[in-house]
Amino acid sequence: MKDGRPDDLGTFAAEQDAFTAALTTWAGKQADSLIRRAGAKDGAPPDFYSLWAESSPERQAQLAALIAGFGFRLAQIGAWAVLDLYNPGADGWDPGVMEGWLAAAAASAAAQYEQAGYDAAIVSATSPDGWQAGLKAGMSAWVSGAARRAVTSGTEARSFGGHDAAGASGLTYKVWHTGGTNPRASHKAMNGDRVELDDIFANGLRWPGDGHGRDSETANCNCHLTYEREG
């Protein structure tokens, strides 16, 4: 018997907003640092590979830790949405089991966002407005992208947590529910679709935000799942 849902967990919306704010703030600091260091170079564009790479390991580790920390909270929210209905004693479920999977997902997301930052910096060197202006524009777009990435990662973490709790609780089916104000046509068409717990949906995803899926199906997704027993 577990103690129940942790008292310090907020709603999904509140935790997702906190995640988005934290990731955006972090990205802004990284962008400002790169612009400041690049600005010390005169004339031709600096070696962006060296500028970005010199702090890449530390930056990527910080980013992975940030994503994993919020991911664990959001996964627990997803899990307790299922447990409260079907298994309030959380029998057979342990939140710690999720941490390894969430850490791996966070590392993958961090690597992708890190690469996007490097790509933005490199493109700035050929900007028709000059590399300084190009760098500022590229980094601004990279920072703005933090919100989309936070939504995508947050949706996946909640989905994974719910799926993990459903399996531990003996549930056998999952149902897709379309969310957001402007859902993809493919997701809107799937609203109410029901498949077995270990199966995939028509769009090839195990759950909303599935990191194994195409970006065109996962980015900024606000859909969620519910679960049912056979019968």
Cβ atoms within 10 Å of 115's Cβ, excluding its own: 12
Map residue 109 onto helix, strand or coil: helix
Q: How confident is the model at residue 42 (pLDDT cuts 50, 70, 90)?
A: low
Structural domain total, the chain: 1
2 domain-assigned: no
Q: Report pLDDT for 122.
A: 86
Sheet holding 224-228, edge to edge: 194-196, 173-177, 224-228
22 domain-assigned: yes
How far apart are the C-alpha atoms of 154 and 12, rounded to whole Å?
9
84 domain-assigned: yes
What's the chain's average pLDDT?
Answer: 92
Q: Report pLDDT for 37.
A: 85
DSSP 59: H
* Domain around 217: 12-228
196 domain-assigned: yes
Whether residue 25 has pLDDT greater than 80: yes
Whether residue 43 has pLDDT greater than 90: no
Q: Which residues contact 176 (CB under 8 A, 6 or more apart)?
A: 187, 190, 191, 192, 193, 194, 201, 208, 223, 225
Q: Report pLDDT for 40.
A: 59
Whether residue 171 has pLDDT greater than 80: yes
Q: Report pLDDT for 44.
A: 75
185 domain-assigned: yes
Q: Report pLDDT for 1.
A: 41
98 domain-assigned: yes
> Tens of pLDDT along 79-118?
999 999 999 999 999 999 999 999 999 999 999 999 999 9
> Tens of pLDDT along 69-78?
999 999 999 9
pTM of the model as a whole? 0.92
Q: Report pLDDT for 148.
A: 94
132 domain-assigned: yes
41 domain-assigned: yes
